[in-house]
Structure 1
Amino acid sequence: MKVYEFPGFPNPARVRIALAEKGLIDQVEFVSVNVPEGEHLSDAFRAKNPSAAVPMLELEDGTCIAECTAITEYLDQIDGAPTLTGKSPKERAVIHMMQRRAEAGLLDAVATYFHHATPGLGADVEGYQNAEWGEHQKENALKGMRYLDGVLADRPYLAGNEFSVADITAFAGLIFAGFADITVPQDCANLKDWHMRVSARPSIAA
């Protein structure tokens, strides 16, 4: 397997965490795609992933899988013993619901702020920017943090008692928030406690 990524970016980090949780790091070849220099926009990369985004997983038979949730779903099912995406129909539904809420309400909101209301990756890569929209999404990211804080008031992880892909997505969202200088509100004690616990997991601490 090959994973196309730009090391240090939040979305590639999601896949690296999933790989580490599943013990698959040594089975993957990592291929760096220079996103700040626009390499992801090349015809060669677009032929593999028309959305021109990293990360992307390429299987030995040439199948290319984009989108972090799809990649994690594949990785979690390889050994037939899923630990990140749920086993029962109820577990899977709750995990995917919370994953999407963490993605839309935190990670994507921070990303929109970064790409629209800051210099982002530079004019050559960013193209169109709408600062007002970006600032609006910053407020949504803060609301998202407060929502997740409330969820964590009565459970150790976002989808229940076990670490899941929802937690990976939220953690990546906080990575991006830190990079974009969006501070977790002081009153989000549950989210801060969760962040400390999750940061200590071997898949992340390494």
Structure 2
Amino acid sequence: MNPGGIDGQEATSLERRLAQLEARAEIAELMQLYAAAADRKYTAGRTKQSPAVVRAAARMQASCFTQDAEWHGGRFGGTLHGRMAIEDFFAESPWLFTAHHYGSPSFSFHDAGHEAGAHLDGADVRWRLLEVGIREGDGQVVLLTGSVRQTCRRTGEGWRIARMEFDALHAIRLAAEPDRLRCIIPLGEPM
């Protein structure tokens, strides 16, 4: 008799479900880091940070990817291979301001084939994207919306993005002047 009342098969199922919950949380944290780093390149006053700050933010954003990652941005960035190429692209951002929001993720996990089935080594993830940005060239305020597909892999650095691709990306012009987007409470300011 099993003192815990859980047989081996149920325990394996519970281990796998727990592993999936932990992986979901870790991948969600990874996307929070990615979005925060992307937005760190700009000031609350709608200008780019110094080149050193932009490069450090681009490096942090690119650290969310595997060393051999692929980025498929279509007309926005094309296809990039490797973390360094992705970092260089992020450092040359065509924006004066961005606020990225990734939500409503859906996950499909792969495991490493271990007998217990609880060791996850990969995930396919879909995110809904909502982003407000001010374009550098013309100062227009735009709203981007769409969906992103990712393949994530567990690495020695934790979960990382191995492939990222936009499924759909739509842009809506909200205003022709950058001053139409105002910062009401700057980051770090007391309320």
Regarding TM over 0.5, the answer is no
Higher share in helix: 1
Higher share in strand: 2
